[in-house]
Amino acid sequence: MFFINVEAAMYREDKWLMIERSTKEEHAGGLLAFVGGTVDKEGASSDILERTLRRELMEEVGVIACEEMTYIRNTSFVLPDGREVVDIIFLCEWQEGEPFPKSPDEVDAVHWMTTEEILHHPKTEIWLREGLLEADKKRALLVK
């Protein structure tokens, strides 16, 4: 029915971990994005969203998130080929590892950026702005 995609609004101090998606990617190639990916079919499972996010963070950029992840929002969209996707964003704090484009077929570049830098970047689309602003509000509440 739907593909389930999860994204990490990962922060370290006052910056967000952002990737430039590979230009090889069919969807949003070359744009700024949070690290994320599609949930694999596992049958009966628990914490599948969080485990998927941890796997994607390690596979794409080689970093580990702190244990606690906080739900931010969900949206849906349709890919150019007609497949429907439910996208879920989680807020998480960086724990260890220096990010790098570990998966060049998915990631062209990795950046730590402030909210303002992301909001004003020419490769930032509306869906990233909206998700970032919600994550930034939640982070402000948690960091106090």
Q: What is the pLDDT of residue 144?
A: 65
Q: What is the pLDDT of residue 24?
A: 72
Residue 128 pLDDT greater than 70, yes or no:
yes
Q: What is the pLDDT of residue 90?
A: 98
What mean pLDDT, rounded, does the chain reach? Answer: 92
AA identity, residue 32: L
AA identity, residue 135: A
pLDDT digits (tens, 9 = 90+) for 4-36: 999 999 999 999 999 998 767 666 668 999 999
- Rounded distance, CA 6 to CA 4, Å? 7
Give me the mean pLDDT over the 66-82 stretch. Answer: 93
Q: What is the pLDDT of residue 143?
A: 75
| DSSP bridge partners of 4 | 86
- Closest Cα partner for 6 from 44, 27, 35? 35
Rounded to two decimals, the pTM is 0.92
Give me the mean pLDDT over the 81-95 stretch. Answer: 95
Domain architecture of the chain: domains with CATH: 3-143 (3.90.79.10)
Percent of the chain at pLDDT exceeding 70: 95
- Dump the DSSP string for 24-82: T-TTTTTSEE-EEEEPPP-SS-SSHHHHHHHHHHHHHH--EEEEEEEEEEEEEEE-TTS
- Rounded distance, CA 16 to CA 34, Å? 9
Quick one: pLDDT band at residue 101, thresholds 50, 70, 90?
very high
